[in-house]
Amino acid sequence: MPAFKVSVVSLGYASYDLERSLLSRIDAELVLAPRDCLTEEEVIAAARDADAVLVREAPIGSRVIRALTRCRAIVRYGVGVDNIDLEAAKMRHIYVANVPGYGTEEVSDHAAALLLACIRRLLQRDACLRRGILESDIQAPVYRTTGKILGLLGYGQIGRAFHRKWKGFLPGRVLVFDPEVAPEVIRDNGAEPATLEELFSCSDYLSLHAPLTEKTRHIVDADRLNCMKPTAILVNTARGGLIDEDALAAALAAGRIAGAGLDVFEKEPPPRRPPVAFPAERRPERPCRVVFP
């Protein structure tokens, strides 16, 4: 009988041969949950007697941690650990670890793709074309990247990778808000430290790369959205809880910002919402154009 049991409660990878190979060196058995655990009850059933737990999105709250009779380590496939109750784990003397470099290139690529899709109105233009509306008849304005002000909320590995890639689009300035990063580090990378007020009021394009904590939950709220330029675009590839989604929907419908590219939502899958109805004044009568200001 193996000396240790390691439970995988979040499935999705094609193979776990690497994990099994590494764990075999310490006489540990890797056990996969019968299905992807989406609730605390499913996590408890799969990992109650595990010595360690490997997790992605499954909820590891205080109730789960209290039910783990032998657990000494919880390891997340990813960077953020907001689905794990860290205080409860600390009280039980359970180590919590993450993978700091997980998805750095992929997520920063995706942030750039979402921002470009919003700037160039790719989805709207595709929808128009499928309805038989030709290029010269599309009304939505299209913006450029050169000379625009990029804002970054969070400057960890993913935020820095995104900044590195976006330099090729020749932004006019890059503003960064991250109280955990020294201002000289931000300046050494060619960006400017900024306050939250400066970040929201000055950015043409704002990309979120912050962890979800009590301090950052709904950091993008109605007041901060109201401070943004009406031509601004918001992108979020971090955590859905950073944005008050009702406030964002209202801002988009009222034309207070130009667009948003979201890869994450506060509740996933997100609840069905009615389509955002843009006011008539947001539908320009002139043909599609590149806006240079």
Instruction: Look at residues 2, 7, 56, 55 and name the one whose alpha carbon lies nearest to residue 31.
Output: 7
Residue 261 one-letter amino acid: G
Q: Are residues 44 and 8 in the same domain?
A: yes
Q: Are residues 79 and 153 in the same domain?
A: no
Q: Are residues 93 and 126 in the same domain?
A: no
CATH of the domain at 42: 3.40.50.720
Helix axes 157-166, 104-119, angle to 10 degrees: 50
Q: Are residues 146 and 244 in the same domain?
A: yes
Overall number of domains in the chain: 2
For residue 124, what pLDDT is reported?
A: 83
Distance between CA atoms of residues 268 and 160, nearest Å: 26
Last residue of a domain, one of 74, 97, 120: 97
Q: In a structure prediction context, what are the per-residue pLDDT tens digits for the chain, which is 293 residues long?
A: 899 999 999 999 999 999 999 999 999 999 999 999 999 999 999 999 999 999 999 999 999 999 999 999 999 999 999 999 999 999 999 999 999 999 999 999 999 999 999 999 888 888 888 888 776 655 667 889 999 999 999 999 999 999 999 999 999 999 999 999 999 999 999 999 999 999 999 999 999 999 999 999 999 999 999 999 999 999 999 999 999 999 999 999 999 999 999 999 998 888 876 666 555 444 433 333 333 33
Q: What residue numbers bound the domain in which 131 lies?
A: 104-291
Q: Are residues 108 and 85 in the same domain?
A: no
Query: What are the backbone angles phi and psi of residue 9, rounded to the nearest 5°?
Result: -105, -10
Residues 6+ apart with CB under 8 A from 168: none
Q: Global pTM?
A: 0.85
For residue 285, what pLDDT is reported?
A: 36
Q: Are residues 146 and 218 in the same domain?
A: yes
For residue 86, what pLDDT is reported?
A: 97
Cβ distance 171 to 148 under 8 Å? yes
Angle (CA) 98 77 213, round 5°? 55
For residue 271, what pLDDT is reported?
A: 80
Last residue of a domain, one of 97, 132, 155: 97
Q: Are residues 184 and 80 in the same domain?
A: no
Q: What are the C-alpha distances in Å from 213 to residues 21, 60, 104, 242, 274?
A: 35, 15, 20, 9, 29
Token pair for 138:
């599309």
For residue 25, what pLDDT is reported?
A: 97
3-class secondary structure per residue, the chain: CCCEEEEECCCCCCCCHHHHHHHHCCCEEEEECCCCCCCHHHHHHHHCCCCEEEECCCCECHHHHHHCCCCCEEEECCCCCCCECHHHHHHCCCEEECCCCCCHHHHHHHHHHHHHHHHCCHHHHHHHHHCCCCHHHCCCCEECCCCCEEEEECCCHHHHHHHHHHHHHCCCEEEEECCCCCHHHHHHCCCEECCHHHHHHHCCEEEECCCCCCCCCCCECHHHHHHCCCCCEEEECCCHHHECHHHHHHHHHHCCCCEEEECCCCCCCCCCCCCCCCCHHHCCCCCCCEECC
